[in-house]
């Protein structure tokens, strides 16, 4: 259910600083799906993903005063929190143990999984346009933005020189912007 | 670097996708504050990435939102409790309204009981004092009754010989009665109740005439109220011809012969 009220980002931030639960509800309704998708790209385990999503939103609520709008948009900040929590969970010992037991099929560190994740996305307005992105462009965006890979990791994963990650990323995003603008 | 060079460098994209190093991130933030064009460009990149993310949305289970709100409300209330705990003891025990009502009822009963007890105590005190009065009155009556019984015993004794003493010149209306156990113990009793009250400095004295001579038979108590109306035991005589009462002056030693006027006299 979406709230009928629409907040500008500035209004939303102002209310969230004051711990306004209605604004937080709006925030959740508008961003939980996107953040959940990011988690699922790395975790691919629904229950664990939901636990991480829950933890992320609680952290967003508790640490909202730390959000600095001069450093970027609200979603970017939320995404960083969510992505970092997910990475922390993946690196935690208990998760590694769990992964060992449940087997390699749940491994999230391969590009195949990132691509597999993409194939699950459906029914959103931009899906088709984004789908027209070249495979390597979509991968570099996903690995960086969603999976949280470093430039070095992307370089190794995609088999491209480290020095080209920056220009390839710029090209991919410019392409993405065009697709989105045409929608 | 001018703003165009910054925009085309690709650093904004690295920053927006989280690939920028800490150093690069600081540099970008500085430029964003410095150049409006750079700030606008970064905002567009971020909006694009946000839209891309939204396009990939997967809605989580509805229970997640409930869990999040339950958690933050729990956290909010947990923040409030320590503030209060400074003022109030953490061991505050709630008392149900039932026990509060019970306590009130018990207090009311206690107050009522005290009031009743005070009333009963006062009543009891009155009753006790009344009882004491009655007992005293009864004791007085019993004493009188005993006296009367003793007097009656004298009067009713089949051995008592009554002798009437009639008034003489000095007191024509006066009278007295002697009860003499003549044939048994010789005890002599007198009922002096019909003698006039003796003056304060005088007293009555009984005489028995033996062989024509008056012999002292004892002083009659007539000044003490009540005693005059009692039958008084006098001295004992085996024989006597007559009895008489005279009014004598009060003195340390009673008279051996009648000196004052004789009020009443009776012969056998």
Instruction: Give the three-state DSSP class for B76.
Output: helix
In whole angstroms, what is the distance from residue A130 CA to residue A175 CA? 9
Contacts of A177 in chain B (CB under 8 A): 44-45, 48
CATH code at A109-182? 1.10.10.10
Of B156, B174, B195, which marks where a domain is finished?
B156
Q: Same domain, yes or no, for B104 and B134?
A: yes
Residues B138 and B224 in one domain: no
| Residue B151 included in any domain | yes
Q: Contact, A59 vs A84, CB < 8 A?
A: no
- Best to test chain A binding among B18, B22, B24, B61 (most A CBs inside 10 Å): B18
Nearest to B55 among A32, A50, A130 (CB): A130
| Structural domain includes residue B84 | no
In a domain, B190, yes or no: yes
Query: Which pair of structure tokens corresponds to residue B171?
Result: 């007191």
B78 assigned to some structural domain: no
pLDDT of residue A95: 62
* pLDDT tens-digit map of A91-116: 875 666 555 544 444 444 433 333 33
Q: Report pLDDT for B84.
A: 46
Write out the residue range of the structural domain in which residue B104 sits. Answer: 98-156
DSSP state at residue A44 = -
- Are residues B118 and B169 located together in one domain of the fold? no
Instruction: Confirm whether B90 is domain-assigned.
Output: no
Q: Is A62 in contact with B72 (Cβ distance < 8 A)?
A: yes
**Cβ–Cβ gap A28/B56 under 8 Å:** no
CB atoms near residue B149 (< 10 Å): 11
In a domain, B25, yes or no: yes
Q: Are A75 and B72 in contact (CB < 8 Å)?
A: no
Does B85 reside within a domain? no
Please indicate, yes or no, if residue B23 is contained in any of the structural domains.
yes
**pLDDT (0 to 100) of residue B194:** 86
Annotated domain spans of chain A: 9-102, 109-182
- Which of B16, B44, B53 is best to mutate for the A interface (most A CBs within 10 A)? B53
Question: Which residue's structure tokens are 């990435």?
Answer: B49
Chain A and chain B share a number of CB contacts under 8 A equal to: 149
Task: Tell me the pLDDT tens digit for each residue of A27-38.
Answer: 999 999 999 988
CATH level 3 topology of A9-102? Rna Polymerase Sigma Factor; Chain: A (1.10.1740)
Domain boundary among B156, B190, B206: B156
Count of domains forming chain B: 3
Q: pLDDT value at position A115? A: 36
- The low-confidence residues of chain B, meaning pLDDT below 50, are 82-89
């Amino acid at each position: 259910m979406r709230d009928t009220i629409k907040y500008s980002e500035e209004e939303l931030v102002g209310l969230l600083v004051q711990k306004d639960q209605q604004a937080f509800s709006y925030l959740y309704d508008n961003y939980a799906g996107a953040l959940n998708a990011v988690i699922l790209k790395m975790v691919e385990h629904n229950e664990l993903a939901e636990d991480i999503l829950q933890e992320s939103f609680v952290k967003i609520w508790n640490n909202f005063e730390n959000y600095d709008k001069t450093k970027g948009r609200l979603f970017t900040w939320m995404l960083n929190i969510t992505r970092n929590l997910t990475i922390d969970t993946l690196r935690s010992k208990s998760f590694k143990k769990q992964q060992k037991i449940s087997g390699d099929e749940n491994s999230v560190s391969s590009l195949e999984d990132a691509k597999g994740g993409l194939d699950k996305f459906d029914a959103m307005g931009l899906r088709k346009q984004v789908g027209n992105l070249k495979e390597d462009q979509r991968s570099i965006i996903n690995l960086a933005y969603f999976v949280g890979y470093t430039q070095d990791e992307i370089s190794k994963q995609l088999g491209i020189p480290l020095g080209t990650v920056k220009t390839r990323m710029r090209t991919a995003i410019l392409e993405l912007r065009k697709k989105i603008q045409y929608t | 670097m001018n703003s165009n060079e910054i925009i085309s460098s690709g650093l904004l994209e690295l920053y927006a996708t989280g690939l920028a190093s800490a150093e690069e991130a600081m540099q970008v933030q500085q430029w964003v504050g410095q150049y409006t064009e750079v700030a606008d460009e970064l905002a567009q990149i971020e909006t694009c990435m946000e839209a891309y993310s939204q396009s990939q949305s997967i809605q989580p289970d509805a229970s997640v939102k409930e869990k999040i709100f339950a958690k933050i409300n729990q956290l909010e209330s947990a923040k409030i409790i320590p503030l209060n705990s400074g003022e109030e003891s953490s061991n505050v025990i709630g008392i149900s309204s039932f026990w509060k009502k019970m306590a009130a009822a018990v207090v009311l009963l206690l107050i009522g009981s005290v009031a009743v007890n005070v009333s009963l105590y006062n009543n009891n005190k009155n009753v006790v004092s009344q009882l004491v009065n009655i007992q005293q009155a009864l004791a007085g009556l019993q004493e009188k009754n005993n006296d009367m019984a003793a007097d009656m015993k004298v009067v009713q004794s089949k051995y008592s010989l009554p002798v009437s003493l009639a008034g003489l010149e000095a007191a024509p209306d006066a009278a007295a009665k002697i009860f003499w156990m003549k044939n048994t113990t010789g005890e002599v009793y007198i009922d002096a109740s019909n003698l006039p009250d003796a003056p304060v400095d005088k007293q009555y004295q009984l005489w028995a005439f033996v062989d024509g001579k008056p012999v002292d038979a004892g002083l009659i108590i007539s000044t003490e109220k009540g005693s005059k109306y009692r039958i008084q035991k006098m001295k004992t005589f085996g024989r006597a011809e007559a009895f008489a009462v005279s009014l004598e002056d009060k003195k340390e030693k009673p008279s051996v012969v009648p000196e004052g006027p004789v009020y009443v006299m009776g012969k056998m």
